[in-house]
Amino acid sequence: MPIPRWSKRKYLPGTRPARRIALRLAGVSLLLAQAGAAQAAADPALLAIRDLDRRLARISFRLATRNVALCPVTTTWSGLLLHDINEYAPAFRGSVRDTFGLVDTFPAVLATVEGSPASVAGIAEDETITSIDDQPLARAEVMRHATMASVNAVLAQLQKALDAGPVRLALVAGDRRSTVVLEGARGCASRVELLPGPGLSAAADGETVQVSGALAEFVLNDDELAILAGHEMAHNILRHPEILKAAGVRHGLLGSFGKDAARIRETEVAADYLGLYLAARAGYDISSAIGFWERFGRRTSWGIFNSPTHPGWKKRQEMVKTTMAEIAAQTAQGRELFPDPDRIGR
């Protein structure tokens, strides 16, 4: 079933603007329309959201941790997804509490990535975190509107602690209390977020990759989702948003002409190329990109009115095939996979 969104997750701790609120409320309206405001219909939707969050987290963790050699900037990844009651719209907090057992004062584990440090440490879904490195977490005030402020504060605290070394977490699940030691894994410094919305869109801003819920459902398998996420991570790894901004490149309608369009297109071609290497090094089948770009291109194509800032789907298919041959040659020689520096501007 289509997955309604009114929250969004990130898989690397950090803080983001409060614009999430409007997106989350829009997602609530979508859920109400689909579920007819029936309380019972919210539970499977929430569980489906967790499944999609976990899936994207698993893929992004794998992409980040298996491509450290290609990333000039790295950070600590844990494979731990957190949420708290404040990030959900008030109208649905009752259902959220019933589904996940969330308490009002502390964050809880939404999901963990299998094989990640969080999973190895034995951290389980729906456990509540009450302290980090023996420092009790501040009790969050329940807000009247959806906000990420309280969970972002905990995520930032956890990130800082992980960057310094192993972290002790105090966990509560019902009447059971436990303490675990969580270590971090090095990975590319690029957060990943799942956004609500019907558009087939993905973007990178230099720090964060954002994938729409509709696009995450459009892909046929994990290989396609990895290729998509890898493309956007490549933009961040290559510092494309920063480079384009420094060059004064305009986006939107004004960026669709002349030198601006040409420069944007260059970054898209480079991200396509590096993204395939990221996916291949992480063990994904990059031949899936051939079918993905055709389906995506036919779905979004405006024919001769296509934007000149992005290659057409046929050009992208050609690039995939040549890159696959390039990777196959390196593999046959027993070499570690590395992209051609000249093709990514290095």
Alpha carbons 133 and 156: distance in angstroms, whole number = 14
**What per-residue confidence (pLDDT) applies to 156?**
94
Low-confidence ranges of the chain (pLDDT < 50): 1-42, 304-305
**What per-residue confidence (pLDDT) applies to 181?**
98
Residue of 209, 200, 198 lying closest to 231 (CA atoms):
209
Map residue 168 onto helix, strand or coil: strand
**What per-residue confidence (pLDDT) applies to 191?**
86
Q: Enter the DSSP assignment of 203.
A: E
**What per-residue confidence (pLDDT) applies to 265?**
92
Domain boundaries, the chain: 20-187, 219-343
- Torsion over CA: 238, 231, 111, 23 (sign): positive
Tell me the per-residue pLDDT of 104-158, one tens digit each, with 9 for 90 and over. 889 999 999 999 999 999 999 999 999 999 999 988 899 999 999 999 999 999 9
Contact 60, 53 (CB under 8 A): no
**What per-residue confidence (pLDDT) applies to 9?**
46
305: phi then psi, degrees, rounded to nearest 5: -95, 10
**What per-residue confidence (pLDDT) applies to 257?**
57
* CA–CA distances in Å: residue 255 to residues 23, 307, 324: 26, 10, 31
Q: How many CB atoms lie within 10 A of CB 181?
A: 12
* Terminal Cα distance for the chain, rounded: 43
Q: Which CATH fold topology does 20-187 show?
A: Pdz3 Domain (2.30.42)
| Amino acid (1-letter code) at residue 196 | P
**What per-residue confidence (pLDDT) applies to 256?**
60
